[in-house]
Structure formats: C-alpha cells, structure tokens
C-alpha cells in the first residue's frame, strides 16, 4: 500500500529549513556537479558580490593565483565544484572595492550510496571582523614589544619551574653579554635555562628567588649584582622580580627587571670617601692647630709656677701674663672656629646622656663665682621646676652656658647683676641668663647669632670678641633640638633663654653630675679676660 505523503507538512518543513538557513551568518550553498546552484542562503548570495585582488598577505588561499590575482568568488567556486575538488577552511584576503575582506572557504561533496559525489556543499564564512581584531591584537603586541625593546632597562620574562628565558629585550641581551662575557644573541637566550646562561652560583641564587615567588607571588628585590664589563667598567644592578598574572601549562611567568644603579653606587662611594677625607681633615687640622697652642699654654703655666716666677722680674711677669691671656684667647678662637666649621659641615656629633640639668647648671654657676667676683658682679641662681633630668650633651651644654655667662660678665658693668634661672613649660626646660648690662640695640639683635658678628659700638669693641660664640651656641642648641631666644634693651640689659625639649634617652644609664665637673681649663678659656 502506497504511503500517504504529507505534502503540506513537507512544504512547511522545507520553508522552515529555508528560513533557518537564511538566519545563519555563514554562507551556505548546494551545487550539483555541473556547478549549478540547487540552493543558497541569504548570507551566501550577499558574499557572491565579493570580488577583487588577492592581497599579498592572503593566508594560504588554496590554489588561487596569489598576489594581485583577480578573483570572482562565484566563478572560483563553480570552477572548483566542476573540477570535483574539495577543500576545507581555506582563508583568502582580497581587496574588494577598497575594502579588505577575509573569507574562509570550504567545499565538501555529498555522495550517493555508491560513493559518487552528486552535490557539493559550499560554505563561505566572512572573517573580516575577526581578522581585524586579530590584526589589532597583533599590532598592539608589536607596539608593546617595541616599547619594551626601546627601554634602556633590561627586561626578561622567565618561565618557572623550568627557569627558561621566554622573552628578553635588547638591553637584557646586552646585560647578559656584559655580565657573562659570552658572545650571546637573542636566539641563544630564548628557550635556554638560567643555568645554561649564567654562572652556577648566580643561577642558583636566582632560582631560589623565583621559587619563593612561585610559592607566594610577590615583588622582590634581589641583592645588588656587580660586575665588570669586557671594557673594564664597573656596573651595579638591582634586580626586581614580579610574577605576571598570566600563567599557562602550570608555568608561572616572572618578569626580571634590572635597574642600573651604577651612578648611585659611585656617588655613594664618592660621598663616603669624601666624608672620610673630611673627617680626617678635621682630625688633622684640629690636632695641628691646637697642639702648638696647648704646648705654649703648658709652658706659660710652668713659668707661672712659683719656682720659675721667682726668677722673673716684674716686667717679664707682666709680659708673661699678657702672653698667657692672648694664648687663651687664641685657643678659644681656634676651638670655636673648628667647632662651628665642623657643625656647619654636618660632622658634629652629639654625645647625649640623661643628666640633671638643674644640678649641673647650679654647679657651673657656683664654679665661676670666684671669677665673676673680680668684677664684683652679683651672680644668682634659682630654679622652680620639678622636671630635672633630660637628655643632654653635657659637654656642649657647658660650652653654651659658659658662653652666655662670659658674655653677660663681659657686657655688664662693675657691681652689676646676673640672674641664672630655670623654669619649665609643657614641652621645654628653660634656662635663662639675665644681666643688667649694656643691652643690645634693635638693629643688632637679629645679627648677634651670625657668624663673626661683632658689635659696632665702640664700647663693646673694647672686649675684642671674635663673633663666633653665639653662632656656635645657636648651632649646638639646634643639634640638641632646642632653641635660643633673646630679649634685650640698650642700657637695661639682656636676657638669653635656652629651651631644651623635656625628653629622656631610652636608657637606664644615668650620668652623675659629679663625674661631669667642668675643667678649670674650659672656664679659663671662656673667661680669659677675667681669669688670671
């Protein structure tokens, strides 16, 4: 019995198939072996209009005549179908009406039961967008590569765990050549392992670092690499490692970047050498300048002893006294000059201890009383503070206070008055030295801390100062993170206030004031005019 054919349904199915085929973006056509079209979808009929010149960069276009050959896609396909040639995914790039088109062809036969080809299915797939994207990616890759190649810094990518060089820029090739002294080129390096290129110890050290990064991705710095180039130049590099986010086939890609720090290292070496030379200079010059004065000082002291004094007549004694006083002044000047030069060159160091500032100040005041009495000056000391101990460079404090006191004595009339007082606020312990001497004019007050500033007043000039004292005091105070202020009015007197931060050094060590007695020497120097 003949089957009932459901024509209606068949027609509907065919129409549905046609509609589906027309929605597909790939061009599909069926041709018989004579090259006649049995069917084609919309995408195919659109692509039939493509014709143009095959471009030089056409990719593997089947047996198209390459390079500048004219191609009409339709004729080309019909020709191939008639010849019975089948091919798969051949890509051709043509220039069609000024536009670049990339088309992928495939031609496959449909065979009958005997295996004879009766139809050919042709698929055309436009890949222009895809190819443009891939071209863009390629361009970007080249762009980045050009930048990395142009960098004046060695850059390499190493794959871990194999430790093979995957990428090196030109500078890295030069870096490896200089470091290993081998005639390497880009091709020798790419694909080689670190151990094949670098000396064993160096390779092992790098492998260790890469291993650490593999376990815990991070950015690390390798210790400095130093070597001499074949030309004998010393080079110093600091290597930086960073794990790339990208990884494939269980490999981690690690970037090695070399920073040339030769100039910094050379600068540091020069600075260290210069510092050493300067320190040696200060030591030598201090010794050379101070020694002869110190020798003279001892001789004068010897001559002053009763044994020798008896031998001297009155005139010679007077001359000896004068020579001794001037020698002291010279020693004070040399000491001050060397200290200020040292401090301004940044070589003055602090020897800080926790000390009782109140007790020590009181002690100093007491010690100079006999000297001050020569001018019948009344010297008082008062303190109203509870904080007593602070961090202090005792030696410098002694110089500071004796300096202020000797100035106060110098610029105060006979039977004048000097008050030394200590008080405190929240932050500072303050030491004031107040006299009722000649005072300082408003114009001069800003200049007295300048190095070598000496008052223009004829009366003050008689004191034959050097103008270093207060500049040194200010420097020492700055070194101790303190400050100095002055209030003064001509004819009324001057008040110098030292402020020391209320800080203690983090130590249990405490300096006993008794161990810090100022020498007769330092007082005799500061009070050289009165001290005889």
Among 440, 480, 523, 530, binds ligand ADP (CB under 6 A): 440
Please report whether residue 46 would count as binding ligand ADP according to CB under 6 A. no
Q: Are 251 and 166 in contact (CB under 8 A)?
A: no
Nearer to ligand ADP among residue 82 and residue 451 (C-beta): 451
Nearer to ligand ADP among residue 350 and residue 445 (C-beta): 445
Among 124, 206, 355, 408, binds ligand ADP (CB under 6 A): 408
> Residue 480 and residue 502: Cα distance in Å, rounded?
11
Please report whether residue 465 would count as binding ligand ADP according to CB under 6 A. yes
Number of H helices, E strands in the chain: 17, 20
Residues with Cβ within 8 Å of 230's Cβ and at least 6 positions away in sequence, in order, are: 178, 181
Q: Are 73 and 50 in contact (CB under 8 A)?
A: yes
Nearer to ligand ADP among residue 157 and residue 365 (C-beta): 365
Please report whether residue 372 would count as binding ligand ADP according to CB under 6 A. no
Q: How far is the CB of 300 from ligand ADP (least distance, A)?
A: 22
Of 400, 312, 317, the residue nearest 357 (C-alpha): 400
278: which 2 tokens? 């300067």
Q: Is 90 helix (H, G, I), strand (E, B) or coil?
A: strand
Nearer to ligand ADP among residue 408 and residue 523 (C-beta): 408
DSSP code per residue over 278-345: HHHHHHHHHHHHHHHHHHHHHHHHHHHSHHHHTTS-HHHHHHHHHHHHHHHHHHHHHHHHHHHHHHHT
Q: Is 169 helix (H, G, I), strand (E, B) or coil?
A: coil
Q: Are 431 and 361 in contact (CB under 8 A)?
A: yes
Nearer to ligand ADP among residue 389 and residue 410 (C-beta): 410
Nearer to ligand ADP among residue 78 and residue 448 (C-beta): 448
Cα→Cα distances 120→17, 37, 82, 169, Å:
18, 9, 10, 51
In the bound complex, which residue of the shown chain has the CB atom lying closest to ligand ADP?
465
DSSP code per residue over 246-257: EEETTEEEEEEE
Q: How far is the CB of 381 from ligand ADP (least distance, A)?
A: 17
Q: How far is the CB of 467 from ligand ADP (least distance, A)?
A: 5
Please report whether residue 460 would count as binding ligand ADP according to CB under 6 A. yes
435: which 2 tokens? 């006299």
Among 265, 338, 454, 479, binds ligand ADP (CB under 6 A): 454
Q: Are 445 and 488 in contact (CB under 8 A)?
A: yes
Nearer to ligand ADP among residue 37 and residue 337 (C-beta): 337
Nearer to ligand ADP among residue 375 and residue 460 (C-beta): 460
Please report whether residue 416 would count as binding ligand ADP according to CB under 6 A. no
Q: How far is the CB of 340 from ligand ADP (least distance, A)?
A: 10
Q: How far is the CB of 493 from ligand ADP (least distance, A)?
A: 7
Q: Are 117 and 84 in contact (CB under 8 A)?
A: yes
270-278, 393-401, 468-476, 509-517 -> range binding ligand ADP (CB under 6 A) = 468-476
Nearer to ligand ADP among residue 448 and residue 484 (C-beta): 448
> Residue 195 and residue 176: Cα distance in Å, rounded?
13
**Which DSSP symbol is given to 193?**
B
What residues are paired with 525 via a beta bridge?
none
58-66, 140-148, 294-302, 406-414 -> range binding ligand ADP (CB under 6 A) = 406-414
Please report whether residue 501 would count as binding ligand ADP according to CB under 6 A. no
User: How many amino acids of this chain bind ligand ADP (CB under 6 A)?
Assistant: 21
110-118, 131-139, 252-260, 405-413 -> range binding ligand ADP (CB under 6 A) = 405-413
Please report whether residue 44 would count as binding ligand ADP according to CB under 6 A. no
Q: Are 436 and 363 in contact (CB under 8 A)?
A: no
Nearer to ligand ADP among residue 178 and residue 472 (C-beta): 472
Of 445, 441, 385, 421, the residue nearest 498 (C-alpha): 421
Nearer to ligand ADP among residue 235 and residue 375 (C-beta): 375
DSSP code per residue over 135-147: HHHHHHHHHHHHH
Among 361, 383, 455, 528, binds ligand ADP (CB under 6 A): 455
Of 15, 4, 44, the residue nearest 27 (C-alpha): 44
Please report whether residue 448 would count as binding ligand ADP according to CB under 6 A. yes
Instruction: State the alpha helices, DSSP H only, in 345-468.
Output: 357-373, 394-410, 442-445, 458-461
Nearer to ligand ADP among residue 167 and residue 337 (C-beta): 337
**Which of the residues 257 through 316 are near ligand ADP (CB under 6 A)?**
none
Of 473, 469, 468, 467, the residue nearest 499 (C-alpha): 473
Please report whether residue 469 would count as binding ligand ADP according to CB under 6 A. yes
Among 411, 500, 527, 531, binds ligand ADP (CB under 6 A): 411
Nearer to ligand ADP among residue 324 and residue 412 (C-beta): 412
Please report whether residue 467 would count as binding ligand ADP according to CB under 6 A. yes
Please report whether residue 375 would count as binding ligand ADP according to CB under 6 A. no
Please report whether residue 330 would count as binding ligand ADP according to CB under 6 A. no
Please report whether residue 432 would count as binding ligand ADP according to CB under 6 A. no
38-46, 242-250, 420-428, 438-446 -> range binding ligand ADP (CB under 6 A) = 438-446
Instruction: State the alpha helices, DSSP H only, in 376-424.
Output: 394-410
Using CB under 6 A as the criterion, which residues of the chain lie in contact with ligand ADP when the complex forms? 407-408, 411, 435, 437-440, 448, 453-455, 460, 465-471, 494
């Amino acid at each position: 019995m003949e089957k009932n054919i459901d024509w209606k349904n068949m027609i509907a199915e065919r129409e549905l198939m046609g509609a589906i085929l027309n929605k597909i973006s790939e061009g599909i056509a069926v041709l018989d072996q004579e090259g006649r079209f049995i069917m084609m979808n919309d995408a195919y009929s659109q692509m039939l209009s493509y014709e143009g010149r095959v471009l030089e960069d056409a990719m593997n276009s089947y047996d198209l005549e390459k390079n500048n050959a004219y191609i009409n896609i339709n004729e080309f396909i019909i020709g191939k179908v008639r010849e019975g040639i089948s091919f798969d995914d051949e890509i051709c790039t043509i220039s069609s009406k000024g536009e670049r088109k990339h088309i992928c062809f495939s031609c496959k036969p449909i065979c009958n039961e005997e295996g004879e080809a009766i139809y050919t299915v042709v698929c055309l797939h436009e890949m222009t967008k895809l190819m443009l994207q891939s071209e863009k990616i390629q361009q970007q890759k080249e762009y980045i590569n050009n930048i990395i190649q142009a960098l004046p810094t060695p850059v390499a990518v190493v794959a871990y765990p194999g430790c093979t060089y995957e990428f090196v820029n030109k500078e890295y090739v030069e870096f490896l050549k200089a470091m290993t002294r081998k005639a390497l080129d880009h091709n020798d390096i790419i694909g080689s392992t670190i151990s094949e290129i670098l000396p064993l110890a160096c390779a092992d050290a790098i492998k260790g670092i890469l291993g650490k990064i593999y376990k815990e991705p991070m950015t690390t710095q390798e210790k400095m690499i130093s070597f001499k180039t074949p030309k004998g130049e010393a080079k110093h590099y600091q290597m930086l490692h960073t794990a790339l986010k990208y990884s494939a086939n269980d490999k981690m890609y690690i970037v090695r970047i070399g920073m040339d720090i030769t100039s910094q290292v050379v600068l540091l070496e020069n600075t260290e050498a210069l510092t050493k030379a300067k320190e040696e200079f200060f030591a030598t010059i201090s010794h050379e300048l101070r020694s002869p004065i110190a020798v003279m000082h001892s001789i004068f002291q010897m001559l002053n002893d009763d044994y020798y004094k008896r031998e001297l007549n009155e005139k010679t004694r007077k001359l000896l006294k004068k020579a001794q006083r001037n020698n002291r002044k010279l020693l004070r000047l040399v000491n001050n000059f060397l200290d200020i030069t040292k401090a301004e060159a940044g070589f003055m160091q602090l020897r800080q201890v926790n000390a009782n500032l109140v007790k020590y100040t009181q002690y100093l005041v007491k010690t100079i009383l006999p000297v001050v009495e020569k001018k019948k000056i009344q010297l008082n000391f008062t303190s109203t503070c509870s904080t007593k101990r602070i961090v202090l460079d005792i030696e410098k404090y002694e110089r500071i206070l004796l300096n202020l006191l000797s100035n106060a004595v110098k610029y105060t009339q006979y039977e004048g008055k000097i008050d030394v007082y200590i008080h405190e606020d929240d932050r500072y312990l303050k030491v004031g030295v107040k006299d009722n001497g000649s005072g300082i004019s408003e114009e001069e007050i800003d200049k007295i801390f300048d190095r070598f500033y000496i008052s223009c007043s004829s009366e003050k000039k008689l004191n034959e100062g050097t103008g270093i004292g207060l500049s040194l005091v200010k420097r020492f105070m700055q070194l101790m993170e303190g400050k100095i202020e002055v209030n003064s009015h001509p004819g009324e007197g001057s008040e110098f206030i030292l402020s020391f931060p209320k800080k203690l050094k983090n130590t249990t060590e405490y300096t006993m004031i008794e161990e810090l007695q100022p020498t007769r020497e330092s007082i005799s120097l500061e009070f050289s005019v009165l001290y005889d």
